[in-house]
Structure 1
Amino acid sequence: MILFFYPLPEEQIEVRETLFFRFNGKKIEWVVLGQDGQRLEEGLSGADLFNSRFSGTYDGFIVFVVSGEKVLMTNASVPSKQKRKIAQAVPFVVEEQLAAEIDDSVFAIGERNQKGEVHVSVIDEEVLEGVLVLLQELDLRPNKMISETSLVKSKDSAVAVIEDDRAHFMRPDGCGITLQKDNVAAAISVFEPSNGLELIGSASSLESLAIPIAEARANEVNVSEREVEFMGFSQLCSYFDGSETNMLQGKYKVEEPIPEIGREWRQVLIVLAVGAFLHLALVFVQGWHLAKKADENRHLAKALYDEIFPGEKNVRDIRRRWNSKLGRRGADPGNDFLGLFASAAVGIGPAELILQNINYNESRGDLVFQVFASSS
């Protein structure tokens, strides 16, 4: 089965310490780098001691570094920018470079280089599954899985970092490979004169390569040497900058745990969302209720009008007809019959008066009540 991975967006990693670790035989080699890139601690231990030091609640950023010999770093020229088309084309573009069948390989697609080519990291599917099985024995889970080779950075010329009995080669275009030291001489000899090569390593490691270096220079290959006091896992991890292709993509992607403050804000957002939903639901229910009452009142007004004025037909505007019948022609409803009657009739009940007759003159706006008081 072919697995296609897509490049993840640039990760927003909180400023915190970073734990790098890799398998070294049956041991685990690890190093912790601080926010400024300085080495805080390092060690080589078994899984039990590693778990006791780094539990599942470890809050640093965790990077697992897989052996560079197991990963081929190459490029694929795919003009399309659509992820689906890139995923379909990449295996066939790099097929000739693979020792295994493409159906048995996992392709991790990274960013593009300056030429527009897509970075591709290829690993055998069984190898990756085997690594993941070993990682299951640990309490923590890595946020990112990268190749040792990807830690080497190259700009204008190829770079080879000599680490113990191995060498990590990286070309400016992003192609890289890790070789055993016995094969370094052959790798140096194939460099074209136009390509420069920078070798980084300890004095003893560079001295052991003196003969192939001299042969490359004799072939006009620009070979430069940069001596460091010691080149080990911690020094290699110091080159980490976050641009390395992450192998944990697709179904292997590890979800970042939500920090406590994030959980609190999420709860606040949930409460706000529920409140907004309930408010909208209440407004909807109120609107539906008012619309229903308006329909009921409209039917009652029509029935009352038909009862009082049974002879009239084709009555469309009940309000206008009522106003016309009640003499409400002015803009001020307080001067019509209903307005005057409402104002004058307020005191009849409390005064225990009996309304006997009402006389209303529309032209003058006069309203006369004829009342009498009951005898005590």
Structure 2
Amino acid sequence: MSYRLYVRPLPPFADPEQNPEAQLYCWVLLDAGGDAQAHGSADPRETIEQTLAQNALDKVLLTGLVPGDEATFCVADIPAKQSRFIQQALPYAVEEQIAQDIETVHLALGPHTSEGYLVAAIDNAVMQKWHSLFSGWNQVRLEAIYPDASLLPAPESGWMMCLDGDFVMMQSQRGEWLRMQVDNLPLFVMTMATPSSEEVVAEVPIQLYGLKAELDHQQTLIDQLSAASGRMSVHQKPLEFSVLEFLAWAHHQHLCQPVNLCQGQFSVKISGSNPFKPWKPLIAVASLWFVIQLGLDIGMGMYHKQQAEDLRAEAMAIYRQAFPSDRRTHAGNVRRVIEGQLRVAGSQGLDADFITLMKFTGDQYSRLPGSGAVTFNSINYSRNRGELVVDIRADSYDRLSRLRNGLANEGLQAQIGSVVNESNGARGRLTVSGG
């Protein structure tokens, strides 16, 4: 579950470098649903950190609130849309709205409205002090720093005000925030009650929030506001919880458009929020396994490559023994050459000359059982046809068939024709040619 911690330093403000432990804070811890889980009204930083640690909360998002009068509200009318050009033009767009040297001011860019970009301007040294005050906390990660008045709910018209002790926070319908002494509020209201020459006189609604005790305490002032002019319409709304909880609730409900001061040189560097950090040990083991596996694959590849080269060398040695005069064949094409030679040899068959045919015929004749029962009456050879014709006689046709089959098994073509069966055997004509 995601938790968000809203912290607001209380006056007097301590020096964050010299005496940070003396600073007291008002704080509230919200869960993901926006419900307050813990809070404090005047606690040191150590107490807040211990509360988070006791509840086993880690990496809680920290939102720091600074006095609204520390940052000046500005509007920048910049036609550019690209972020780089907007940042370049920002100082020139708000320079006339700031009463100090623009180079000593930290500018934070906010959301874009119909009037232009909302901008918060704060002195560089002051911003450095606040940034140091909220940095380096245990159990939390700084996410944003806002002017407190900018977290008030934005009204649809008129002004939103909230009593805060001796001060009053205000926000207008265009997003402008202010923070001033309560005693100066009647004068400010008188200024709002005076319409310009071009303005149509209309009622200005004011929603005034505050704890019931503060509203009762400031009732005389409130009555003065209502009677100051017929244009002011003040509606009192008591708070059932602290001012800080009211601001945190408005921010969680997205009822405001505050400007985060943590930009530029004060931007939050999320060094420990890498989502892969919990997986680093597993990633390291997987990387080591990958390196080892890659090494094994490379080693086996080199081994098999060497084996293949040895086999190719052995095959070429055998080929050279059979074909010593062939110098064009190499390991890359020896298989193709041999397959071609076998195809040629298969298509040509045996060399069908007279000596070869006689050699095979005589060999098969000698292998016949009882070869004396087979006699050759005449032998004829035709060179044109490549055929050997033998007029043969045997005591049975079976011997003639065995002789023919033996020649066929040697790859020759052998046929027996003109067979005549007689009382003492069979005779026929054996024709033998190349396969």
**TM-score, normalised relative to structure 1:** 0.68
Distance 1:200 1:278, change over 3 A: same
1:247 counterpart (261, 264, 267) = 261
- The reply on whether 1:23 has 2:23 as its aligned counterpart is no
Deviation, 1:37, is: 2.4
Distance 1:287 1:244, change over 3 A: farther
CA contact (8 A) 1:196 1:221 kept: yes
Q: Which amino acid counterpart does residue 255 of structure 1 have in structure 2?
A: I
- Equivalent residue number for residue 186 of structure 1: 187
Q: Which amino acid counterpart does residue 200 of structure 1 have in structure 2?
A: Y
Q: Which has the higher contact order (CA 8 A, sep 6+)?
A: 1
Could you give the per-residue CA deviations for residues 101-139 of structure 1, whole angstroms, max 9, x where no partner exists? 2211112223333x2833322211100122234446965
- Equivalent residue number for residue 433 of structure 2: none
Deviation, 1:283, is: 4.3
Q: Which amino acid counterpart does residue 174 of structure 2 have in structure 1?
A: D
Deviation, 1:83, is: 1.9
- Equivalent residue number for residue 199 of structure 1: 208
Looking at structure 2, the residues matched to 38 and 50 of structure 1 have their Cα atoms a distance apart, in angstroms, of 14
Distance 1:137 1:294, change over 3 A: closer
Distance 1:245 1:268, change over 3 A: farther
- Equivalent residue number for residue 40 of structure 1: 38
- Equivalent residue number for residue 239 of structure 2: 228
Looking at structure 1, the residues matched to 43 and 277 of structure 2 have their Cα atoms a distance apart, in angstroms, of 35
Rg larger for: 2
Deviation, 1:156, is: 1.2
- Equivalent residue number for residue 162 of structure 2: 161
Deviation, 1:148, is: 0.4
Q: Which amino acid counterpart does residue 411 of structure 2 have in structure 1?
A: S
SS at match of 1:96: helix
- Equivalent residue number for residue 338 of structure 2: 322
- Equivalent residue number for residue 100 of structure 2: 100
- Equivalent residue number for residue 213 of structure 1: 226
Looking at structure 2, the residues matched to 176 and 129 of structure 1 have their Cα atoms a distance apart, in angstroms, of 21
Q: Which amino acid counterpart does residue 25 of structure 2 have in structure 1?
A: E
CA contact (8 A) 1:74 1:174 kept: no
- Equivalent residue number for residue 75 of structure 1: 75
Q: Which amino acid counterpart does residue 41 of structure 1 have in structure 2?
A: H
Looking at structure 2, the residues matched to 31 and 46 of structure 1 have their Cα atoms a distance apart, in angstroms, of 10
Deviation, 1:272, is: 3.5
SS at match of 1:24: coil
- The reply on whether 1:131 has 2:118 as its aligned counterpart is no
Looking at structure 1, the residues matched to 10 and 261 of structure 2 have their Cα atoms a distance apart, in angstroms, of 16
Could you give the per-residue CA deviations for residues 30-57 of structure 1, whole angstroms, max 9, x where no partner exists? 2323424236331313456556556698
SS at match of 1:94: helix
CA RMSD of aligned residues (A): 3.8
Deviation, 1:274, is: 4.5
- Equivalent residue number for residue 353 of structure 1: none
Looking at structure 1, the residues matched to 411 and 259 of structure 2 have their Cα atoms a distance apart, in angstroms, of 93
Identity of aligned residues (%): 20
CA contact (8 A) 2:206 2:233 kept: yes
CA contact (8 A) 2:28 2:244 kept: no
Structure 1 residues not aligned, in runs of 5+: 1-13, 331-360, 365-376
Looking at structure 1, the residues matched to 172 and 220 of structure 2 have their Cα atoms a distance apart, in angstroms, of 23
Distance 1:269 1:295, change over 3 A: same
Looking at structure 2, the residues matched to 66 and 38 of structure 1 have their Cα atoms a distance apart, in angstroms, of 20
Looking at structure 1, the residues matched to 116 and 305 of structure 2 have their Cα atoms a distance apart, in angstroms, of 64
Q: Mapping of 1:292-303 within 5 angstroms?
A: 294=308, 298=312, 301-302=315-316
CA contact (8 A) 2:6 2:65 kept: no
CA contact (8 A) 2:76 2:118 kept: yes
Distance 1:138 1:311, change over 3 A: closer
Distance 1:206 1:106, change over 3 A: farther
Looking at structure 1, the residues matched to 168 and 240 of structure 2 have their Cα atoms a distance apart, in angstroms, of 16
Looking at structure 2, the residues matched to 285 and 305 of structure 1 have their Cα atoms a distance apart, in angstroms, of 30
Deviation, 1:93, is: 0.9
SS at match of 2:10: strand
CA contact (8 A) 1:151 1:239 kept: yes
SS at match of 1:239: helix
Could you give the per-residue CA deviations for residues 313-372 of structure 1, whole angstroms, max 9, x where no partner exists? 544732111234456989xxxxxxxxxxxxxxxxxxxxxxxxxxxxxx8737xxxxxxxx
SS at match of 2:122: strand
Deviation, 1:306, is: 4.6
1:267 counterpart (263, 281, 285) = 281
> Matched residue pairs, number?
318
CA contact (8 A) 1:33 1:39 kept: yes
Looking at structure 2, the residues matched to 168 and 329 of structure 1 have their Cα atoms a distance apart, in angstroms, of 106
CA contact (8 A) 1:156 1:172 kept: yes
- The reply on whether 1:309 has 2:323 as its aligned counterpart is yes
CA contact (8 A) 2:160 2:172 kept: yes
CA contact (8 A) 1:105 1:124 kept: yes
The more displaced of 197-206 and 302-311 is 302-311
Deviation, 1:87, is: 1.1
Distance 1:287 1:17, change over 3 A: same
Deviation, 1:173, is: 2.7
Looking at structure 2, the residues matched to 73 and 45 of structure 1 have their Cα atoms a distance apart, in angstroms, of 30
